[in-house]
Amino acid sequence: MDFSFTPDQEALRDQILEFATRELTEGAIERDRGGVFPHDLWEKCGEMGLQGLPVPESHGGVGLDSLSTAIALEAFGYGCRDGGLAFAIGAHLLACVIPVWRHGSEELKERYLPGLSNGSLIAVNAITEPDSGSDAFAMKTRAVSVEGGFRIDGTKTFASNGPVADLAVVYAATDPDRGFLGGITAFLVEKGTPGFSVGQKFEKMGLRTAPLSELVFDDVFVPDDSVIGGVGGGGPIFNHSMEWERICLPAIHLGTMRHLLDRAVEQARTRKAFGQSIGKNQAISHRIADLKVRLEAARLLTYRSAERLETAGTVGLDASMTKLLVSESLVRSALDVVQIFGGYGYMDEYEVERILRDSIGSTIYSGTSEMQRNIIAGWLGL
Ligand SMILES: Cc1cc2nc3c(=O)[nH]c(=O)nc-3n(C[C@H](O)[C@H](O)[C@H](O)COP(=O)(O)OP(=O)(O)OC[C@H]3O[C@@H](n4cnc5c(N)ncnc54)[C@H](O)[C@@H]3O)c2cc1C
């Protein structure tokens, strides 16, 4: 399999890397300390088209294929030092824009895709509930059919972008006895809809610039045309969005891993102890060799999966393997780089402890590592 970049992919990568390095690095330490969501940078990313990379140009996006989307997101992750912002954009694009683009009615696409792609709208994906995370389809949120639409009742939690979102992709049970296949429906709910509110906001270990909250639905009326992809079709729509998220959020992580490698090599060359650079110690240089191997292996799997998103009939196994490998590699590499930096690695001004804190969520969101292993084992007939 040949992943040599086309001239267009190279130009795209360079353009996004240059943009992210220039615009998205300053002030990340302060924003992380204060837990500040950078609304202005979100809009700048929208001007670059990051929130709508694979969306067709006819709907306001950039119109990239899935592999080029992954290449662009890696460049974004490499240049952007605000891990919370990168995650917020990834969650918006992969768990919200994808379902509207791939499953929404023409009317929903025309109404929302341009704004979702150009940074003027922020979306949140809401499936997790206080009593159901991994077992997401055991949700208690109900949508009951009424004249002209549905009434939604329930509480969602851990909703990334929740406090700042204009639009929510919400999953609710319309036929609880049927569960995943036929029992769950995806809805689009606009901010300001009566009964829809932001609940508790959470302080987090990492990704502190990506705000996260509960979302409360108290007898919220939504019209029939707010259904994405048909009543009862929510389960497969959610799984499809997770295939994109489990492949393309890792693409952002590849960029972070590349940044970690650069930082480790520089530190190993310049930091002196016992009269020589610390990289002369095999204990350090071998760790860095492992960073490189992890990055290259993670990239190959991610690119192959990204290509298969559009060429293979089913990519559930690819998505889980990619998500598992890349997230665990990212955490491992971040931990190694903190250790390579010694005491400096523990201090926030060196910015590697933040990457470690940001990375840990990656083994939890979009389905935990344990759930990915369950899915992979299931594909193996276990
Ligand atoms: C930073 C962050 C952002 C998030 N963003 C969103 C978002 O935007 N929208 C949204 O809806 N949700 C979001 N989530 C929620 C996330 O998807 C859930 O936290 C995750 O799916 C796990 O669910 P849970 O927290 O309820 O844990 P649980 O499901 O209660 O799991 C607890 C532990 O048990 C393990 N476990 C559970 N079942 C099994 C099993 N069958 N086999 C083996 N182990 C098992 C899990 O792996 C985990 O280790 C986010 C979470 C985080 C941390």
Is the C-alpha dihedral spanning 74, 55, 325, 344 positive or negative? Answer: positive
The number of beta carbons lying within 10 Å of the beta carbon of residue 172 is: 29
Residues 17 and 10: their CA atoms lie apart, in Å, by: 10
Quickly name the fold that domain 235-379 has.
Butyryl-CoA Dehydrogenase, subunit A; domain 3 (1.20.140)
Compute the radius of gyration of the chain from its Cα atoms: 21
Residues 211 and 262: their CA atoms lie apart, in Å, by: 29
Q: Which residues contact 147 (CB under 8 A, 6 or more apart)?
A: none
Residue with tokens 């492949």: 247
In which band, very low, low, confident or very high, does the pLDDT at 3 lie, cut at 50, 70 and 90?
confident
Residue 174 has pLDDT above 80, yes or no: yes
Taking CB atoms and a 6 Å cutoff, what residues make up the pocket around ligand 1? 91, 125-128, 133-134, 158-160, 207, 212, 361, 364-365, 367-368, 370-371, 374
What is residue 255's predicted lDDT score, i.e. its pLDDT?
A: 98
> pLDDT tens digits, residue range 114-171?
999 999 999 999 999 999 999 999 999 999 999 999 999 999 999 999 999 999 999 9
Mean pLDDT of 359-371: 98
Mean pLDDT of 232-240: 98
What is residue 24's predicted lDDT score, i.e. its pLDDT?
A: 95
**CB contact at 8 A, 289 and 295:** no
Residue 103 burial class via C-beta count within 10 angstroms: exposed 0-12, middle 13-18, buried 19 and up = buried
Nearest CA to ligand 1 atom 13: 158
In which band, very low, low, confident or very high, does the pLDDT at 76 lie, cut at 50, 70 and 90?
very high
**How far apart are the CA of 163 and the centre of ligand 1, in A?**
20
In which band, very low, low, confident or very high, does the pLDDT at 342 lie, cut at 50, 70 and 90?
very high
Q: Which residues contact 360 (CB under 8 A, 6 or more apart)?
A: 205, 206, 331
**Shared fold status for 7-122 and 235-379:** no
The domain segmentation of the chain, as residue ranges, is: 7-122, 124-233, 235-379
What is residue 335's predicted lDDT score, i.e. its pLDDT?
A: 98
Quickly name the fold that domain 124-233 has.
Butyryl-CoA Dehydrogenase, subunit A; domain 2 (2.40.110)
Structure tokens at 280: 């002369």
First to last CA, the chain: 29
Residue 218 has pLDDT above 90, yes or no: yes
Residue with tokens 């306001």: 60
Nearest CA to ligand 1 atom 6: 159
Per-residue CA distances from 318 to 73, 100, 142 (Å): 18, 23, 32
Residue 195 has pLDDT above 80, yes or no: yes
For strands 227-228 and 272-273, give the pairing: unpaired
DSSP state of 121: -
Q: Which residues contact 194 (CB under 8 A, 6 or more apart)?
A: 220, 221
Residues 119 and 100: their CA atoms lie apart, in Å, by: 15
- 245 among known catalytic residues: yes
Ligand 1 atom closest to residue 206's alpha carbon, by position in its atom list: 1
Mean pLDDT of 176-180: 94
Residue with tokens 């509930």: 129
**How far apart are the CA of 128 and the centre of ligand 1, in A?**
8
Residues 372 and 99: their CA atoms lie apart, in Å, by: 21
| 190: alpha, beta or left? (left if phi > 0; alpha if psi -120 to 50) | beta
**How far apart are the CA of 59 and the centre of ligand 1, in A?**
33
> pLDDT tens digits, residue range 302-328?
999 999 999 998 999 999 999 999 999
CATH of 7-122 among 1.10.540.10, 1.10.260.40, 3.30.43.10, 3.50.50.60: 1.10.540.10
Residue 235 has pLDDT above 80, yes or no: yes
Structure tokens at 345: 């690695």
Is the C-alpha dihedral spanning 13, 15, 20, 22 positive or negative? Answer: positive
**How far apart are the CA of 52 and the centre of ligand 1, in A?**
26
**Residue to mutate (ligand 1; options 96, 365, 382; most atoms within 8 A of CB):** 365
What is residue 306's predicted lDDT score, i.e. its pLDDT?
A: 98
In which band, very low, low, confident or very high, does the pLDDT at 338 lie, cut at 50, 70 and 90?
very high
Single out the catalytic residue among 74, 129, 243, 245.
Answer: 245
In which band, very low, low, confident or very high, does the pLDDT at 1 lie, cut at 50, 70 and 90?
confident
**How far apart are the CA of 280 and the centre of ligand 1, in A?**
41
Q: Which residues contact 138 (CB under 8 A, 6 or more apart)?
A: 131, 132
